[in-house]
Structure 1
Amino acid sequence: MTNKVVVLGSLNVDSILRIARLPLPGETMEMNDKSSAPGGKGANQAVAAARAGADTSFIGKVGADDAAEVLRDALKSDGISTEHVTTDENRGSGQAFILLQESGQNSILVYGGSNQALRPADVDAAKDLIKDADFLISQFETPIDTTTYAFEYAQSVGVTTILNPAPAIPTIPTDLLKVTDLLCPNETESATLTGIEVTDATSMILNAAKFAQMGVKELIITVGSRGAFYANQMESGFVDAFKVKAVDTTAAGDTFLGALSSQLKTDFSNMREAIVFANHASSITVQRLGAQPSIPTLAEIQAEYDQ
Structure 2
Amino acid sequence: MNKVTVLGSLNVDTILKINRLPKPGETMQMNSKQNAGGGKGANQAIAAARCGAKTSFIGKIGNDANGAMMLELLKEAEIDTDAITYSASGTGQAFILLQESGENSILVYGGANQELSLEDIDQAQAKIAASDFLITQFETPLAGGKYAFELAKRAGVKTILNPAPAKQVPPEMLSLTDLITPNETEAQALTGIEVKDEVSCQQAAQKLQALGVKNVIITLGSKGAFYQTKTTHGFVPAFKVQAVDTTAAGDTFLGSLSSQLDTDFTNIEAAIRFANKASSLAVQKLGAIPSIPTYAEISANN
Structure 1 length normalisation: TM-score?
0.97
Task: Name 1:105's counterpart in structure 2.
Answer: 103
In structure 2, distance between residues paired with 1:211 and 1:189: 12
Task: Name 1:10's counterpart in structure 2.
Answer: 9
Structure 2 residue corresponding to 1:168, chosen from 158, 166, 169 = 166
In structure 1, distance between residues paired with 2:104 and 2:70: 22
In structure 2, distance between residues paired with 1:204 and 1:175: 23
Contact 2:176–2:213 (CA under 8 A) maintained in structure 1: no
Structure 2 residue corresponding to 1:189, chosen from 183, 186, 189 = 186
How far apart are residue 233 of structure 1 and its match? 2.2
3-state DSSP of counterpart to 1:254: helix
Identity of aligned residues (%): 62
Is 1:77–2:76 an aligned residue pair?
yes
Kindly provide the CA deviation profile for residues 134-158 of structure 1, in whole angstroms up to 9, marking residues without a partner as x.
0000000000000000000001001
Kindly provide the CA deviation profile for residues 201-235 of structure 1, in whole angstroms up to 9, marking residues without a partner as x.
11111111211221111000000000000002211
In structure 2, distance between residues paired with 1:223 and 1:55: 28
3-state DSSP of counterpart to 2:23: coil
3-state DSSP of counterpart to 1:82: strand
Kindly provide the CA deviation profile for residues 268-293 of structure 1, in whole angstroms up to 9, marking residues without a partner as x.
01000100000010000011100000
In structure 2, distance between residues paired with 1:77 and 1:53: 14
Aligned residues: 302
Task: Name 1:301's counterpart in structure 2.
Answer: 298
Task: Name 1:266's counterpart in structure 2.
Answer: 263
How far apart are residue 64 of structure 1 and its match? 1.9
Is 1:284–2:281 an aligned residue pair?
yes
Q: Residue 95 of structure 1 aligns to which amino acid in structure 2? A: Q
Is 1:217–2:211 an aligned residue pair?
no
In structure 1, distance between residues paired with 2:208 and 2:283: 29
Q: Residue 98 of structure 1 aligns to which amino acid in structure 2? A: I
Q: Matches of residues 59-98 of structure 1 in structure 2 within 5 Å?
A: 59-89=58-88, 91-98=89-96
In structure 1, distance between residues paired with 2:127 and 2:192: 37
In structure 1, distance between residues paired with 2:161 and 2:205: 15
Aligned CA-pair RMSD? 0.7
In structure 2, distance between residues paired with 1:195 and 1:163: 18
In structure 2, distance between residues paired with 1:67 and 1:245: 31
Is 1:28–2:27 an aligned residue pair?
yes
Kindly provide the CA deviation profile for residues 112-151 of structure 1, in whole angstroms up to 9, marking residues without a partner as x.
0000001111111011111111000000000000000000
Q: Residue 55 of structure 1 aligns to which amino acid in structure 2? A: K
How far apart are residue 198 of structure 1 and its match? 1.0
Kindly provide the CA deviation profile for residues 142-194 of structure 1, in whole angstroms up to 9, marking residues without a partner as x.
0000000000000100100000000001x211121111110011111111111
Structure 2 length normalisation: TM-score?
0.99
Kindly provide the CA deviation profile for residues 11-35 of structure 1, in whole angstroms up to 9, marking residues without a partner as x.
0000000000000000000000010
In structure 1, distance between residues paired with 2:282 and 2:149: 29
Structure 2 residue corresponding to 1:247, chosen from 244, 249, 254 = 244
Task: Name 1:275's counterpart in structure 2.
Answer: 272
Task: Name 1:114's counterpart in structure 2.
Answer: 112
In structure 2, distance between residues paired with 1:209 and 1:254: 24
In structure 2, distance between residues paired with 1:145 and 1:174: 13
Q: Residue 48 of structure 1 aligns to which amino acid in structure 2? A: A
Q: Residue 127 of structure 1 aligns to which amino acid in structure 2? A: Q
3-state DSSP of counterpart to 2:241: coil
In structure 1, distance between residues paired with 2:126 and 2:213: 27
Q: Residue 220 of structure 1 aligns to which amino acid in structure 2? A: I
Contact 2:54–2:79 (CA under 8 A) maintained in structure 1: yes
Q: Residue 212 of structure 2 aligns to which amino acid in structure 1? A: G
Task: Name 1:124's counterpart in structure 2.
Answer: 122
Task: Name 1:235's counterpart in structure 2.
Answer: 232
Where does structure 1 differ by over 6 angstroms across 4 or more consecutive aligned residues? none
Task: Name 1:58's counterpart in structure 2.
Answer: 57
